[in-house]
Amino acid sequence: VTKARSNKPLTTEERELWHALKKLSDVSLASVGNTIEAETGLSGADFGILSRLVELGDGVLPQQSLQASLGWQKSRLSHQLTRMETRKLLRRCESETGRRVHVEILPKGTATIEAAYPVHAIAVREYVLKHIDAKEGAVLIQLVRRLEKSLEN
Amino acid sequence: VTKARSNKPLTTEERELWHALKKLSDVSLASVGNTIEAETGLSGADFGILSRLVELGDGVLPQQSLQASLGWQKSRLSHQLTRMETRKLLRRCESETGRRVHVEILPKGTATIEAAYPVHAIAVREYVLKHIDAKEGAVLIQLVRRLEKSLEN
DNA sequence: TAAGATTGAAAGTTCAATCTTT
DNA sequence: AAAGATTGAACTTTCAATCTTA
């Protein structure tokens, strides 16, 4: 059966779910970001980039990989890297072979992210993980996998 | 038993759940927001304000109520209202009695939000609701309620 | 030309200071 | 002084145009 796409107003239940999703990011996830920023001086964006450099690339990563992993627009990443470069957290360098740009974490970046990890872990546990049981977690992870797949098309 | 707050690194499972939650809100909100903006010229912020004026206040609302409902900082709301005022979507007016500012939707705002509602409903269903079954929806709503409550302290 | 990256200007957000009225 | 709102400057994100090299 082909289901017609409805443009009727959202029902109360649908709206409730939609608002729950908005609040999830606006309120709960923001708490983690604010905590990190207040205690380490790294913005959420800074943390996202430095942690990926360390975890995905052991300190160096093609700019493209960073971009894909963050899901950002390229100009946003470029501006962000420029700012972080002036703060000596990382530097851009050329890949051996070709023309691509690589991004390398600098000592100050390493020190900062290492200091931020425990703060991040505490905040994530305190504001979020603590409130989710194992069964709910499993449901959420499956859901997100499905959503991601559907958006790839 | 008092559970000590751990600052150990997040486990793989914890990290997966954390990333899943971030993507859940980031990705689904962005898809819906982009669609509305492309098809109606309203940003997510515009839509949030106009829809609240209509749904909560039947067209007029104290600025404070708007702010509380959105969870924004006051300066953000103030700047946003100024921009929307110049676009003739709404106007600020004084409350009869006291000193508070009220926000009133203008004809152009009404027309625009009415046109945007169906687009919003379609996008929310297509990008989000379609992929979430009843059980998952219930889990999400409960979880967000719990998270909100925990942040009130 | 097409992909990868950068740039500058415009739009949006935050922070701290200020203004206004009770 | 305290609450409600605004302002300007700094910072971040987006958009469109541009640059560079395979």
- What six digits make up the tokens of B59? 């067209």
pLDDT tens sequence for chain B (153 residues): 455 567 789 999 999 999 888 888 777 888 899 899 999 999 999 999 999 999 999 999 999 999 999 989 999 999 999 999 999 999 999 876 667 899 999 999 999 999 999 999 999 999 899 999 999 999 999 998 898 888 776
Q: DSSP letters along chain A, please?
A: -PPPPP-SPPPHHHHHHHHHHHHIIIIIIHHHHHHHHHHHS--HHHHHHHHHHHHHHTTEEEHHHHHHHHT--HHHHHHHHHHHHHTTSEEEEE-SSSS-EEEEE-HHHHHHHHHHHHHHHHHHHHHTGGG--HHHHHHHHHHHHHHHHHHT-
Q: In the block, which residue shows the tokens 């998270």?
A: B147
Residues 77-116, chain B, touching A (beta carbon < 8 A)? none
pTM over cut 0.85: yes
- B87's CB contacts (< 8 A; 6+ apart) are B108
CB nearest to B144's CB, from A6, A24, A121? A24
**Which of B83, B91, B131 lies closest to B107 in space, CA to CA?**
B91
Average pLDDT, integer, range A73-101: 91
Of A147, A149, A151, which to mutate for an interface test with B (greatest number of B Cβ within 10 Å)? A147
- CA nearest to B16 within chain A: A141
CB contact under 8 A, A27 and B148: yes
Q: Looking at beta carbons, which residues of chain B come within 8 Å of A151?
A: 27, 31, 127
